[in-house]
């Protein structure tokens, strides 16, 4: 290297940063000064009662709902909501998994995965189809690739949605209660896919009420209430049997119906 050449920029310490994000809807405050950051391969888990703002926060991160204040940074670069190309890149790099799948009913599973590859990444039909099949195989649905959403179970639909996100090679995946619309017997198949993604080093933000799952996989738990993060910490700190935290209280209330905490 030429001694006079500037050194290449150091990689950002964080893949994704959320700083001071606030949002009001209909005149009511939904999010209040939310901040956190993710390093590569971390999983942050958002928990808290319904109406705490978890879904709104995830949509603000992806600018599906623009925040009123605060900033989102991807690899150290602040997202500019007026930069359409930048937003386009953000949504390619930060995948979103919704509660209700958001699949196209008139497309097969393979077509649901391949359509963005063709329209966004400019792949040929054959290239996109091959990549779609690879991702469907990854989530155990290659033999269901020709079926339409109406022919799939809820768990299978959500796995198609995960395959669609993975096909875009995201740096981060946001998951908004991905099992909330599923029958209880189908929850395990989707949680198993998320567990595999975590094992493969995928960086994720997951909103969930599955506390045992969160305890096993979370790098950090963020407990939200009334639009704010009121507790944060490692699962072993917030959920230890002897600790008195709002997070553990919430965990115990969720488990009370089936077994004592």
Q: What pLDDT is attached to residue 256? A: 63
Residue ranges in the chain whose pLDDT is less than 70: 1-12, 256-261
Q: What pLDDT is attached to residue 181? A: 87
In a domain, 48, yes or no: yes
In a domain, 159, yes or no: yes
Q: Which residues of 94-123 are buried (b: 16+ CB within 10 A; e: fewer)?
A: bbbbbbebebeeeebbbbbbbbbbbeeeeb
Q: What pLDDT is attached to residue 10? A: 60
In a domain, 126, yes or no: yes
In a domain, 72, yes or no: yes
In a domain, 8, yes or no: no
State the angle between helix axes of 109-119 and 154-167 in degrees (0 to 180), rounded to the nearest 10.
Answer: 20
Number of separate domains in the chain: 1
In a domain, 64, yes or no: yes
pTM of the entire structure?
0.91
Q: What pLDDT is attached to residue 1? A: 47
The CATH code of the domain that includes 249 is 3.40.50.300
In a domain, 66, yes or no: yes
In a domain, 7, yes or no: no
Q: What pLDDT is attached to residue 36? A: 98
27: domain range?
16-255
């Amino acid at each position: 290297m030429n001694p006079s050449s500037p050194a290449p920029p150091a990689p950002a310490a964080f893949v994704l940063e959320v700083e001071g994000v606030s949002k009001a809807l209909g005149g009511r405050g939904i999010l209040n000064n939310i901040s956190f950051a993710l390093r590569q391969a971390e999983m942050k888990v958002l928990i808290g009662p319904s109406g705490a703002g978890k879904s709104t926060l995830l949509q603000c991160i992806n600018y599906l709902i623009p925040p009123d204040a605060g900033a989102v940074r991807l690899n150290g670069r602040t997202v500019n909501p007026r930069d359409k190309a930048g937003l386009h890149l953000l949504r390619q790099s930060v995948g979103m998994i919704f509660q209700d799948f958001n699949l196209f009913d008139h497309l097969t599973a393979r077509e649901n995965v391949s359509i963005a590859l063709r329209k966004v990444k400019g792949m040929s039909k054959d290239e996109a189809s091959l990549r779609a099949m690879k991702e469907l195989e990854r989530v155990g649905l290659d033999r269901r690739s020709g079926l339409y959403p109406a022919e799939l179970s809820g768990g299978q639909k959500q796995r198609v949605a995960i395959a669609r996100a993975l096909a875009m090679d995201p740096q981060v995946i946001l998951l908004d209660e991905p099992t909330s619309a599923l029958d209880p017997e189908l929850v395990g198949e989707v949680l198993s896919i998320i567990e595999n993604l975590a094992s493969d080093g995928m960086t994720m933000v997951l909103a969930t009420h599955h506390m045992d799952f969160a305890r096993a996989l979370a790098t950090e738990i963020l407990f939200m209430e009334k639009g704010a993060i009121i507790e944060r910490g490692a699962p072993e700190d917030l959920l230890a049997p002897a600790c008195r935290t709002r997070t553990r209280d919430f965990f115990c209330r969720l488990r009370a119906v089936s077994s004592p905490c």
